[in-house]
Amino acid sequence: MKTCIVPGSFDPFTLGHLDVVKRAAGLFDKVYVAIMINSQKTGKFDFAQRKRIAELSCAGLENVEVITADGLLVDLCRALGASAVVKGVRDAQDCTYEINMARMNGFIDESFETVLLPAKPELSFLSSTFVRELMKYEKPLDGALHPVAVAYISVI
């Protein structure tokens, strides 16, 4: 069985993230969406809220499981038996960053593989930062987040 991890801070989980997860679910037998700590970012949502938003967004994807994790991604891959990490890239800057991360992870574990999926053009502007900015100015989140996630965020 081929297993992958789609890691990120997902603060919050956007339609762009969902597209990457759906595409990974078509390539792998099992997909873990791993909500992880990024020490370089400060979050708006706590871990439990981020997990719930991702779970609501991924509902119905039978081979997808949302988890939370800390520590090194390489160690999580080993623990879950994942053969690859899947990351979405929106532009050249994302690509450069993710290639460097893949090289660092490969330095720790030579068997570490990273699959980069380019964002669909219509989703390439979406980021969690953009969504948080919309929220700051009380703008609608439709088209940026799954409708069920929008409903959940409106009550928390």
Burial of 60 (0-12, 13-18, 19+ CB in 10 A): exposed
Catalytic residue check, 132: no
Q: Considering the candidates 50, 51, 128, 146, report the single residue annotated as catalytic.
A: 128
Catalytic residue check, 128: yes
Q: Considering the candidates 41, 78, 103, 139, report the single residue annotated as catalytic.
A: 41
Q: Considering the candidates 17, 50, 87, 146, report the single residue annotated as catalytic.
A: 17
Dihedral sign for Cα atoms in the order 87, 88, 90, 91: positive
Read off the tokens for 6: 């789609």
Catalytic residue check, 41: yes
**Could you give the angle at the alpha carbon of 111 between the alpha carbons of 32 and 41, nearest 5°?**
50
Q: Considering the candidates 23, 30, 44, 90, report the single residue annotated as catalytic.
A: 90
Report the distance separating Cα 139 and Cα 156, nearest Å.
16
Catalytic residue check, 39: no
Catalytic residue annotation: 17, 41, 90, 128
